[in-house]
Protein backbone atom coordinates (compact mmCIF):
# COMPACT_ATOMS: atom_id res chain seq x y z
CA UNK A 1 0.00 0.00 0.00
CA UNK A 2 2.83 2.44 0.75
CA UNK A 3 3.91 2.32 -2.91
CA UNK A 4 0.38 3.35 -3.95
CA UNK A 5 0.35 6.17 -1.41
CA UNK A 6 3.75 7.30 -2.68
CA UNK A 7 2.55 7.37 -6.30
CA UNK A 8 -0.65 9.25 -5.41
CA UNK A 9 1.15 11.84 -3.25
CA UNK A 10 3.87 12.35 -5.86
CA UNK A 11 1.23 12.85 -8.55
CA UNK A 12 -0.96 15.29 -6.59
CA UNK A 13 2.06 17.34 -5.50
CA UNK A 14 2.45 18.42 -9.14
CA UNK A 15 -0.79 20.39 -8.71
CA UNK A 16 0.56 22.39 -5.76
CA UNK A 17 0.12 26.13 -5.88
CA UNK A 18 3.48 27.32 -4.58
CA UNK A 19 4.42 30.55 -6.39
CA UNK A 20 6.15 32.04 -3.34
CA UNK A 21 8.30 29.16 -2.09
CA UNK A 22 8.38 26.99 -5.22
CA UNK A 23 8.23 24.10 -2.73
CA UNK A 24 5.60 21.56 -3.69
CA UNK A 25 4.24 19.08 -1.15
CA UNK A 26 1.79 16.22 -1.60
CA UNK A 27 -0.01 14.04 0.92
CA UNK A 28 -1.94 10.81 0.56
CA UNK A 29 -4.05 9.23 3.29
CA UNK A 30 -5.32 5.67 3.55
CA UNK A 31 -8.46 5.95 5.66
CA UNK A 32 -10.34 3.50 7.84
CA UNK A 33 -12.55 2.53 4.86
CA UNK A 34 -9.45 1.76 2.74
CA UNK A 35 -10.02 4.74 0.44
CA UNK A 36 -7.18 7.04 -0.50
CA UNK A 37 -7.52 10.81 -0.11
CA UNK A 38 -4.93 13.23 -1.48
CA UNK A 39 -4.10 16.92 -1.53
CA UNK A 40 -1.25 19.33 -2.22
CA UNK A 41 -0.12 22.53 -0.58
CA UNK A 42 -1.80 25.78 -1.60
CA UNK A 43 0.13 28.94 -0.73
CA UNK A 44 -1.33 32.39 -0.28
CA UNK A 45 0.35 35.78 -0.46
CA UNK A 46 -1.08 36.56 2.99
CA UNK A 47 1.10 34.17 5.02
CA UNK A 48 0.13 31.99 6.88
CA UNK A 49 -3.21 31.72 5.09
CA UNK A 50 -2.02 28.87 2.88
CA UNK A 51 -3.00 25.25 3.28
CA UNK A 52 -0.61 22.40 3.96
CA UNK A 53 -0.98 19.22 1.90
CA UNK A 54 -1.72 17.19 5.04
CA UNK A 55 -4.43 19.62 6.11
CA UNK A 56 -6.12 19.43 2.73
CA UNK A 57 -5.94 15.63 2.59
CA UNK A 58 -7.48 15.37 6.06
CA UNK A 59 -10.29 17.75 5.06
CA UNK A 60 -10.96 15.68 1.95
CA UNK A 61 -11.05 12.51 4.06
CA UNK A 62 -13.53 14.08 6.48
CA UNK A 63 -15.68 15.30 3.57
CA UNK A 64 -15.62 11.70 2.30
CA UNK A 65 -17.18 10.51 5.55
CA UNK A 66 -14.11 9.04 7.27
CA UNK A 67 -12.58 10.01 10.58
CA UNK A 68 -9.53 7.76 11.03
CA UNK A 69 -6.17 7.71 9.28
CA UNK A 70 -4.62 4.26 8.86
CA UNK A 71 -1.59 5.52 6.91
CA UNK A 72 -0.38 8.88 5.65
CA UNK A 73 2.46 9.68 3.27
CA UNK A 74 3.97 13.13 2.87
CA UNK A 75 6.32 13.98 -0.01
CA UNK A 76 8.20 17.19 -0.70
CA UNK A 77 10.60 18.68 -3.22
CA UNK A 78 13.72 18.09 -1.15
CA UNK A 79 16.54 15.65 -0.63
CA UNK A 80 15.94 16.18 3.09
CA UNK A 81 12.97 14.78 4.98
CA UNK A 82 9.83 16.89 4.76
CA UNK A 83 8.30 16.16 8.12
CA UNK A 84 4.83 17.55 8.95
CA UNK A 85 4.83 20.95 10.62
CA UNK A 86 3.64 21.22 14.22
CA UNK A 87 0.11 22.27 13.23
CA UNK A 88 -0.19 19.32 10.85
CA UNK A 89 1.16 16.92 13.46
CA UNK A 90 -1.67 18.04 15.71
CA UNK A 91 -4.17 17.74 12.84
CA UNK A 92 -2.96 14.21 12.10
CA UNK A 93 -3.14 13.40 15.81
CA UNK A 94 -6.82 14.33 15.88
CA UNK A 95 -7.61 11.56 13.38
CA UNK A 96 -4.95 8.96 14.15
CA UNK A 97 -4.63 5.97 16.45
CA UNK A 98 -1.59 4.46 18.09
CA UNK A 99 -1.34 2.25 14.99
CA UNK A 100 -1.41 5.05 12.38
CA UNK A 101 1.61 4.74 10.09
CA UNK A 102 3.45 7.83 8.81
CA UNK A 103 5.65 7.64 5.71
CA UNK A 104 7.90 10.56 4.84
CA UNK A 105 9.26 10.67 1.31
CA UNK A 106 11.22 12.74 -1.14
CA UNK A 107 11.11 12.44 -4.92
CA UNK A 108 13.43 9.42 -4.76
CA UNK A 109 11.10 7.38 -2.55
CA UNK A 110 10.06 6.71 1.02
CA UNK A 111 12.82 7.74 3.40
CA UNK A 112 11.34 6.85 6.77
CA UNK A 113 8.32 5.07 8.23
CA UNK A 114 7.10 5.23 11.82
CA UNK A 115 3.92 5.07 13.81
CA UNK A 116 2.36 8.40 14.64
CA UNK A 117 3.24 8.24 18.34
CA UNK A 118 6.92 8.17 17.38
CA UNK A 119 6.42 11.35 15.34
CA UNK A 120 4.55 13.15 18.10
CA UNK A 121 5.01 11.24 21.37
CA UNK A 122 3.22 13.78 23.56
CA UNK A 123 0.34 15.38 21.71
CA UNK A 124 -2.21 17.93 22.83
CA UNK A 125 -5.10 15.43 22.92
CA UNK A 126 -3.99 12.25 24.57
CA UNK A 127 -5.68 9.21 23.07
CA UNK A 128 -6.85 6.31 25.19
What CA–CA distance (Å, rounded) separates 102 from 117? 10
Q: How many Å from the N-terminal Cα to the C-terminal Cα in the chain?
A: 27
Is the CATH number of domain 2-119 3.40.140.10?
A: yes
Residues annotated catalytic, as ranges:
54
Strands 25-31 and 69-76: antiparallel
Q: pLDDT band at residue 126, thresholds of 50, 70 and 90?
A: low
pLDDT at 78: 86
Q: Which helix (DSSP H) or strand (DSSP E) does residue 73 occupy?
A: strand 69-76
85-118: per-residue pLDDT in tens?
888 988 998 999 888 999 999 999 999 999 887 7
| β-bridge mates for residue 115, sequence order | 101
Over the chain, what is the mean pLDDT?
Answer: 90
Report domain extents, the chain.
Answer: 2-119
Amino acid sequence: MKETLFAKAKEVRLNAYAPYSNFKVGAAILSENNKIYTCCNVENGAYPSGTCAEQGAISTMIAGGCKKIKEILIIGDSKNLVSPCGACRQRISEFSTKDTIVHIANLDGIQTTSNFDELLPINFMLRT
